[in-house]
Amino acid sequence: MEQTTKGFELIFVIINTGYIDLVMAAAKAEGATGGTVLNGRGTGNEAMEKFFGITIQPEKEIVLIIVPKEIKDKVLKAVYRDAGLETRGQGIAFCMPVDDVVGLSHGTFEPKDEKAPEEVIELKK
């Protein structure tokens, strides 16, 4: 597969269990095509709960969403608006740049040809 040259960002959303629909609806409304959900467990203490005025639920879901740089700000703001700390999901969101992307299915690249599964694919920058 060819590597895409388009810039991407990875948006991380850590949210209370059961609220990923809020995240994905907001992200898709701004152009994201999907995400990956991981299960997690948060830790906290009483001082943090008092400072932020929230109850920290230990069960979390982490939503990973890769988006083109051009829509990252819109997606991040929409996710925080609909699923942030002031909502039932009490989510936090942040993003990081992604240097290389392969395997996305929304037309950013096409496979060169069929390769044997054991063949190693070298990515060029």
10-56: pLDDT as tens digits: 999 999 999 999 999 999 999 999 999 999 987 766 676 677 776 66
Name the strand (E) or helix (H) holding 14: strand 8-16
Evaluate if residue 115 carries a pLDDT over 70: no
- In this structure, CATH architecture of domain 8-98: 2-Layer Sandwich (3.30)
What is residue 102's predicted lDDT score, i.e. its pLDDT?
Answer: 80
* 11: three-class secondary structure by DSSP: strand
Give the domain ranges of the chain.
8-98
State the distance between the two ends of the chain, measured CA to CA, in whole angstroms: 14
Where is pLDDT greater, at 59 or 3?
Answer: 59
Read off the pLDDT band of 114 (50, 70, 90). Answer: low
Give residue 39's pLDDT: 94
What pLDDT shows up at residue 55?
Answer: 65
Based on C-alpha coordinates, what's the Rg of the chain?
Answer: 17
For residue 61, what are its two tokens? 């879901």
